Structure 1
Amino acid sequence: MIRSATPEDVPAIARLIRALAEYEKLSHEVVLEQEALRRHLFGERPHAEVVLAEQGGQVVGFALFFHTYSTFLSRPSLYLEDLFVLPEHRGQGHGKGLLTHLARLAVERGCGRFEWSVLDWNAPAIAFYKSVGAVPMSDWTVFRVTGDALHRLAGRS
């Protein structure tokens, strides 16, 4: 079953984020604060949304997403930040269920695109995404500014 997350789901979402970071060998980068997560997902001005995959009343996967905007299409886009299903629950349709749910939301909300990034080494995810019709955008490179570099760029070093 796929459902929208509620504030009561924040601990489960946090556990899944940590499990995702462990899977991606990026646990050292996690500085997750549950109250910040709660505020950013369910506060006065939510910055993202989460849908959950459940099996037998247990949360086994999640997708965190938000809207961006395509100037070329003059339409909103849906951006999938993270999708993760616990390893012991993979192959049971949860990942495809989450993607299908988000695709439906994108269509209902008039989005012109539904997109996401995937780590180059994650061959199982790449194969899965290709199997549902996604295509890699090999002519684009993601850039990121964080930490001290972000503060310098903002003129607040």
Structure 2
Amino acid sequence: MHIRFAKEQDVTQLFELMKELAIFEHYIDSFAITPEIVLQSGFRKNPPDFHSLVADDNGTIAGMLVYYFLPYTAQNRPNIYMKELYVSEAYRGQGVGEKLMYALHEVAQQHGCSQIKWTVAPWNEGGLRFYQRLGAHENRDWLNYEWNVK
């Protein structure tokens, strides 16, 4: 298993994992991403809207981690926001997610980031246990708000 930055050639498999994640997290009905959007937004736009790491098992993308930078913070250091972490069901329990997270940690160090931030659904008990095993902690200092724009 090799962790690397995603390439344009990975778009089809990356999209499929994004779709699987939308099913897993119960938002497939509002999922509006297409392979073309992934290609344009993640690989052909400069700067890209997102970055991604993949777990490559001899050409099969076993897992993905999608993130973007939050360049302006009160600490005058960037942060990383992890938007998506997903490991294909066939590869779960093999350390793929952990390898992706540690690769992201390395990216954060290389860019002088002070934190990696993300959200996790409260019903995702496996995800909660996974993040706690890594040493991450729940931040209860802030509440998440959303304001839909029509």
Both proteins in one fold, TM over 0.5: yes
Which is further off, 32-41 or 118-127?
32-41
Say whether 1:109 aligns with 2:107. no
Q: CA deviation at 1:72?
A: 2.3
Distance 1:70 1:133, change over 3 A: farther
What letter is aligned with 2:21?
L
Matched, 1:11 2:17: no
Count of residue correspondences: 148
Shift of 1:26: 1.6
Gaps of 5+ in 2: none
Change (3 A) 1:56 1:7: closer
SS state at 1:2 partner: strand
Tell me the CA shift for residue 71 of structure 1: 2.7
Whichever of the two has the greater Rg, that structure is 1
**Paired residues of 2:69 and 2:80 also in contact (CA < 8 A):** yes
1 or 2 for the larger relative contact order (CA 8 Å, sep ≥6)?
Answer: 2
| Partner in structure 1 of residue 138 of structure 2 | 136
> Quick one: distance in 1 between partners of 2:71 and 2:139?
17
1:84-129 Cα distance to aligned partner (Å, 9 max, x none): 0012211101000000000001001100111111001101000100
* 1:59 match: 61
The percentage of aligned residue pairs carrying the same residue is 28
Higher mean C-alpha deviation, range 122-131 or range 26-35 = 26-35
Offset, 1:70: 5.2
Indicate whether 1:46 and 2:65 are aligned. no
* 1:73 match: secondary structure: coil
- Write out the 4+ residue segments of structure 1 that deviate beyond 4 Å after TM superposition: none
What secondary structure sits across from 1:131 in the alignment? helix
Report what 2:23 is aligned to.
22
The one-letter amino acid of 2:17's match is L
| Structure 1 unpaired stretches of 5+ | 149-157
Q: Distance in 2 between matches of 1:33 and 1:147?
A: 21
